[in-house]
A and B are shown apart, each in its own frame.
Chain A
Amino acid sequence: MKNYANYIKTTPNHLFMHSLEYIDGYFKGEFSPKEKTEFERKLTEDPNFADDVAFYISTRQVSKDLVIEEKKNNFRKIYADYDKETKVIPMRRIWSYSVAAAVFAALIFSWFMFMKPPTPSQLADHYIKTNLAHLQVNMGGGQDSLQTAIGLYNEGKYSASLPVFEAILNTQPDNSRALEYAGIAAIQIGEYDKAIQYFSRLESLPLAYNPGAFYHALTLMKRNAPGDAAEAKKYLEKVANEGLEHKEDVPTLLRRL
């Protein structure tokens, strides 16, 4: 590695290229504490050098602005294409869409005539299939028991994953992720009473992120025993009123419960 403390002493200020390399080294984190102090001393004493540092940072900002602009334009294009696909109906296909609309209307009529609205259990099922098919893997997490259990769950081996989550809870009863995931695994294998126990324990923990109440409600909906729907509604209202985790999912469920 370059000796920057010595480097700055021997580098004339007007050699901007050298100055840039020195500044680059600082912002890339290549300096020792002593070199950092020297860098800051120079910055406060040498206006030309301070100007170079300001230029380096300003250029970085402007370049980043261009990156962001380019990415946003790309997102805009993707979204516009998606919007167009879902909204624009070509005139030459209007006939086939009319037929489709008629069939759809017939289906809706049949639905009103013969079908019932989804049960709380079906609503919960839909949510679980859509949102809980995969558990979040720890960023950079090693091969500990939690990762092993998450791996089993994500492979669809719910029954095998639950004892591993429970083993973690035997030694760490307040491990919030193990409680959350043990409850979810228990729902998947129909152990609703057990799931409720885990979510109740989770709810009682003083956490910034606490999805216990929401999952408690979901389990009650899934179990759908007498009184469960009304109880689930109370839990969902609590999530919404207290701004708890998954509050954004509550309105859809409450509307149909």
Chain B
Amino acid sequence: MSSANTSTTIPDETIIQNLLQTGSARRRGEEDLFNRYSYFIKEGIHKYSLTQEDAFDAYSDTILSAIDRIVKGTFEGRAALKTYLYQIFHNKCVDLIRKNATNKNTVHRTQEVTDMIFHLSDASKSIVQQLIDRSDWDLLRRKLNEIGQNCKELLMFSADGYSDREIVELMTYKTADVVKTTRLRCLEKLRQLYKNNP
């Protein structure tokens, strides 16, 4: 039996509890949440006349966005999880219909940037935003793939919201301080590669 079938019987609160854990429990929570409401994809095809690929994208983005909010504690549980997800899914389908197909993968592109510069003053925000806009994303991505598996994995865990303390267990480091130093060295290494690119 596929996990897609069994996940439909897992209560929402169990899925949420797993999402609030780390490592394999969180991964299981992510997959269970994806499976639980994957029938939305068919609805995206029939109700919004999306292609299967677009409906899948809208649903995947919905799940990733919900996971992000659950992990950050901004999902307060005032609406049932299904209603909450459906609202996000509906908005993403409408966005997809409005957007040109070539832009559909940009749903998350600037979300992290937006979240991070949110706390800066307007003057600082404007300076940083202009510099970010000039970043060579493709080059940075290529260099991130070149800095070594360990560094790449460490930066990805950090970007995924794991604290240095949580990464200690996930990557078998000794202490959170070691994780922090290694993470900053990886960034430094990436910066050198990025700057020195011919």
Contact = CB atoms under 8 A, between A and B. Distances in A.
Contact of B156 (A20, A50, A66, A85): A66
A66 B187 contact: no
B174 interface: no
Interface stretch (A56-64, A99-107, A186-194, A218-226): A56-64
Contacts of A63: 144, 155-156, 158-159
Interface string B53-65: 0001100100110
A139 interface: yes
Contacts of B60: 71-72, 75-76
A136 B108 contact: no
A56 B121 CA distance: 17
Contacts of A20: 184, 187-188
Contacts of A75: 31, 34, 56, 60, 63
If over half of B's interface residues share one DSSP class (helix, strand or loop), that class is named, otherwise mixed; here it is helix
Contacts of B31: 74-75, 78
Contact of B81 (A50, A64, A136): A136
Given A58-B135, A245-B79, A79 B128 contact: no
A169 B93 CA distance: 39
Interface in A24-70: 24, 27, 40, 43-44, 50-51, 53-68, 70
A17 interface: yes
Contacts of A74: 31
A176 to B, nearest CB: 9
Contacts of A134: 11-13
A16 interface: yes
A82 interface: yes
Interface string A5-32: 0000000000011001100100100000
A136 B137 contact: no
A21 B77 contact: no
Contacts, number: 155
Nearest to B132: A54
A86 B1 CA distance: 10
A139 B159 contact: no
A76 B56 contact: yes
B131 interface: yes
Chain A contact-residue range equals: 35 or more
A139 B35 contact: no
Contact of B128 (A57, A72, A154, A246): A57
A54 B64 CA distance: 25
B83 A61 contact: no
Contact of A51 (B43, B80, B86, B131): B131
A78 B2 CA distance: 9
B166 interface: no
Contacts of A27: 116
A249 to B, nearest CB: 9
Contacts of B73: 139-140
A139 B141 contact: no
Given A55-B194, A63-B159, A136-B81, 9 more contacts: A57-B116, A65-B109, A66-B156, A66-B159, A68-B64, A71-B60, A78-B35, A82-B5, A136-B13
13 contacts: A54-B135, A55-B135, A60-B112, A60-B113, A60-B158, A62-B144, A64-B108, A66-B159, A67-B159, A68-B64, A75-B60, A82-B5, A248-B43
Interface of A: 16-17, 20-21, 24, 27, 40, 43-44, 50-51, 53-68, 70-72, 74-76, 78-79, 81-82, 85-86, 131, 133-134, 136-140, 154, 209, 211, 245-246, 248
Interface of B: 2-5, 11-13, 16, 30-31, 34-35, 38, 41, 43, 56-57, 60, 63-64, 73, 75-83, 86, 108-113, 116-117, 120-121, 123-124, 127-128, 131-132, 134-135, 137, 140-141, 144, 152, 155-156, 158-160, 180, 184-185, 187-188, 190-191, 194
